[in-house]
Amino acid sequence: MSENRIQWLKFSSPKNFFALVERLLPWFWAAALISAAIGLYIGFFVAPVDYQQGNSYRIMFIHVPAAWMSMFIYLIMAVYAFIALVWRIKMADVMAVSLAPTGAMFTFVALWTGALWGRPTWGTYWVWDARLTSELLLLFLYLGYIALHAAIPDRQRASRAASLLALVGVVNLPIIYFSVKWWNTLHQGASISVSKGASMSSSMLAALLTLSFSCWMYAIAVTLTRAQAETLERERGAMWTNSLATAQATEPEENNLSETNNGAVV
């Protein structure tokens, strides 16, 4: 048990994290691209045409994974925010910051593909449905987090303030969702049921699951890439970043600033 703990904490040091990510990244990228190719192939060529919606249902293969990811990523971001706030582990904040743009991107994709699907199916790009509205509010929560983190010049304060905001957001998220649902049942404007038939052909399900896996892998890969860049920026001037730079022979000596915090944890 204690060995396990040490292993994990080892990778919360920026230097070890960077090296680990360097080795893992190609695998995540490969998994993302291959599963995307397989999933898209099944989705476009194997899965049958829906008897009600025709071919337009196929956008679901992008839309549903994106909607799932948009919510999962917020939760994961909040977990990292909690770790950053309570134990003040720098890498946890790096991860939370790196997750936010991907989460916002998936939220936007979910909204956009939802609109494109809604046009042929419902006859309108947008309805003020409970799910659509709460997804839109989720996008604003992401933007608020990103904006707050970017607005505070002091890095430590930015990290802790944005982390607190993410936690306030995650506490409020269910309340927002249920209040929007409550509001939606009161104003029953467009009587459209978003939930589709429960039964789904197995090839549709296969495509959906493969593409969900692909989205996970993509999210992990892109987040880790961003986290690497963020780590390098934060640790500039540290010994290991300097030796990394000299090893790559891009900028031999200019980076040697007086600040030499070696990026230890906490």
Q: Binding residues for another protein, per CB under 8 A?
A: 137, 140-141, 143-144, 147-148, 151-152, 156-157, 160-161, 164-165, 168-169, 171-172, 175-176, 178-180, 182-183, 186
Cβ proximity to another protein, 37 vs 86, nearer residue: 86
Question: Least separation, in Å, of the C-beta of 179 and another protein?
Answer: 4
Cα(221)–Cα(33) distance, integer angstroms: 11
Cα(108)–Cα(203) distance, integer angstroms: 27
Question: Least separation, in Å, of the C-beta of 162 and another protein?
Answer: 8
Cα(182)–Cα(260) distance, integer angstroms: 55
**Which residues have CB under 8 Å from 237's CB, separation 6+?**
255, 256, 257, 258, 259, 260, 261
Cβ proximity to another protein, 44 vs 178, nearer residue: 178
Q: How far is CA 30 from CA 25, 35, 203, in A?
A: 9, 8, 23
Cα(247)–Cα(260) distance, integer angstroms: 18
Question: Least separation, in Å, of the C-beta of 187 and another protein?
Answer: 9
Cβ proximity to another protein, 144 vs 237, nearer residue: 144
Q: Are 41 and 56 in contact (CB under 8 A)?
A: no
Question: Least separation, in Å, of the C-beta of 208 and another protein?
Answer: 29
Which amino acid type is present at position 192? I
Cβ proximity to another protein, 19 vs 152, nearer residue: 152
Question: Which sign, positive or negative, has the C-alpha torsion 176, 181, 187, 190?
Answer: positive
Question: Least separation, in Å, of the C-beta of 245 and another protein?
Answer: 32
Cβ proximity to another protein, 63 vs 149, nearer residue: 149
